[in-house]
Amino acid sequence: MIQEHYARSHHFDLRLERNGALVSWAVPKGMPVDPKSNRLAIRVEDHALSHLDYTDDTPVGDGDAVRVRIWDEGAYTSHEFGDDMVVVTFHGRRITGQYAIFRTRDKNWLVHRMDPAPEPSE
């Protein structure tokens, strides 16, 4: 599942259900569609499964709001799920295809699309 999150900064939260929790990364610029482009992913704390359908629209001072929307949902097939590398195939409404998510340093990871970009729809 991918949530679109408007808070101090706009970003996307990638959450993969694993062993009764949601393994989570903040992806500031969203998932890459083109395999020529990697995207930063910051590993954050695991979340409870209750976040699978979590949305929010909480006002914060000065007219700002924290907004969380479900941007994409679906299933995934796990090919590798280690401490430093995750390889999955997404079967979502918006994101499909094989991706590698790998640690570069500390909490910083990169997301890389492994298969060719989908053809544009007409």
| Residue environment code for 13-22, b if the CB has 16+ CB neighbours within 10 A, otherwise e | bbbbeeeeeb
- 88 φψ region: left (φ > 0), alpha (ψ -120 to 50), beta (else): beta
The residues spanned by each domain of the chain are 2-113
pLDDT computed for residue 117 by the predictor: 78
pLDDT computed for residue 96 by the predictor: 94
Sheet holding 108-113, edge to edge: 56-60, 64-72, 2-6, 10-18, 21-27, 39-47, 108-113, 96-105, 85-92, 74-81
pLDDT computed for residue 61 by the predictor: 56
Give average pLDDT by consecutive 10-residue segment, the chain, 122 residues: 83 94 95 94 93 70 70 96 96 96 96 88 60
> Rounded distance, CA 55 to CA 116, Å?
32
pTM here?
Answer: 0.86
> Rounded distance, CA 98 to CA 89, Å?
4
pLDDT computed for residue 59 by the predictor: 58
